[in-house]
A and B are shown apart, each in its own frame.
Chain A
């Protein structure tokens, strides 16, 4: 089938979702009220609570949730064929992610803009709050390890991107200074930044840089992983305005440019989907599509990470409550469209079915490298950039996303360690540098332990990361469901996704447990057990809370 049809079908479905279903949910279920005094107005302090233009807020919400994950997940999941991945991304975005994101903003907005973690404690109970914290820690741990492995793989496979990827850090540092010292207006700075970044992208293919194949016993991937964590540790210690803020801003611009380029190239070139609609010739180690598809694609269909952004920051800046629909639901649609682009790139960017099969030779393969290779061939065909340049461009886009997430993730993890230090009275753990080293150590252990460092294992850990993400989403949906019941409104809009997610996540974890046992991969086996225990506890918590609600005991506590 021609990829233009896939693209248009996806966009039309998501547009219908936004114009019809989100209107229904916003008006009839959440009953968003334009006259409600939002926390941004009620507690306006110029620091946390600031009423913000809804387009700015949408841009922020979208760029902080759309990173490398909605690219990697779909690009791995197409191994079952493109139709299942396509359907889950589209229906997931319409009935799961949009409802979840807008609902998280609404729930937080109606509760003094508290974070979803705090809301879980207030609305569901103390046990649920502890579970929430454990799952967040697991998500952060895995996201840092997985992204380091992904970036290392990209830098080895597409070494033309090494110069622009690291050069982008210097561009960001300079931009940060220009803005901080108010030397140049922001629009001019944005143009300078984008031009500088693209100049570096042009320079990359001329001077490709490859690390030695082995150095003190470390493979080139392992060396990159060490360098990346070294960078992330230093970056997470710098003040945010110096590097993180300008980097994030350029990434946002880059996201829009990359998406427009990809979509335009697909529309002009119109390549055929060479991957099968349903893959009947699955590699031997591929697990069953149901339930694994629903945890392999987390971001792009539904992801709990969004709830953290929605509750922690977005809801504190909501100007009008009705903006929650645009910011939350349309933010999810934005991410769905990125996932859709990833599916098309990974399925239509190869010349023949044989080429595609050579990449997807076993489960956990493909991923972001297939997205870059496929997307680059579409861009070079559609827009006429040389393939090498297009590869560099897409690699830079993916690496910058993943790199910024690592920076943020390591920062958050350091806070968690520092907090533990405070709780358990361990004075050295409260200090910044030791806490950072602990966080880096934990992530390194996971990155190497999960077999990503030598590049042979593929991303076996990816579905496990998806499960933690889905558990987080499940907890957020539970909060929204309980609120809906208390307001006396129909709860099926969030209850059905919640049950579906929990069943699929637990099933996927059990199935994975079996696989890891057979492979005798005790590291991932142990990790799986930890996540499985959390999942079962969350399922029990959901069951008991909903049971209490059903019995009419509406006042919990």
Chain B
């Protein structure tokens, strides 16, 4: 019984080591490219936002029925976007976020 406990803790140690090494490898894999990938994702998100708010800019959107409910959810991201684009306030007359 006692021996088994020791074995388990040894196994636990190996597992813990594996986990730590894995986390280290993951960091080493991701750190160099984190910004490039995050930026690519941000570009795609911006495109999606354009789709959601397209009617507000006069672009007809056949999926409005579905995207309408997303509008309030994306308001925060919209605010972040116009700040990032160097505009202090929302550029759309009919939509104010700040």
Give the interface of A toward B (CB within 8 A).
46-48, 50, 52-53, 55-57, 59-60, 64, 179, 185-187, 190, 239-241, 244-245, 248-249, 252, 313, 316-317
Contacts and interface: CB of A to CB of B under 8 A. Distances in A.
A249 B22 contact: no
B27 A53 contact: yes
A248 B33 CA distance: 10
Interface of B: 18, 21-22, 24-29, 31-40, 42
B27 A187 contact: no
Given A187-B25, A240-B36, A245-B29, 19 more contacts: A46-B34, A47-B34, A47-B38, A47-B39, A47-B42, A50-B34, A55-B24, A56-B27, A60-B28, A60-B31, A179-B29, A186-B29, A187-B21, A239-B40, A240-B40, A241-B37, A245-B33, A249-B28, A316-B35
Contacts of B32: 60, 64, 245, 248, 313
6 contacts: A56-B31, A179-B29, A186-B26, A186-B29, A245-B32, A252-B28
A247 to B, nearest CB: 11
Given A47-B38, A186-B22, A187-B22, A240 B27 contact: no
A523 B22 CA distance: 51
A56 B30 CA distance: 10
A46 B28 contact: no
Nearest to A52: B31
A248 B32 CA distance: 9
B29 A185 contact: no
Contacts of A241: 33, 37
A185 B22 contact: yes
A492 B38 CA distance: 41
B11 to A, nearest CB: 17
Contacts of B33: 240-241, 244-245, 248
Contacts of B37: 239-241, 245
Nearest to A46: B38
A93 to B, nearest CB: 23
Contact of A48 (B24, B27, B29, B35): B35
A313 B35 contact: yes
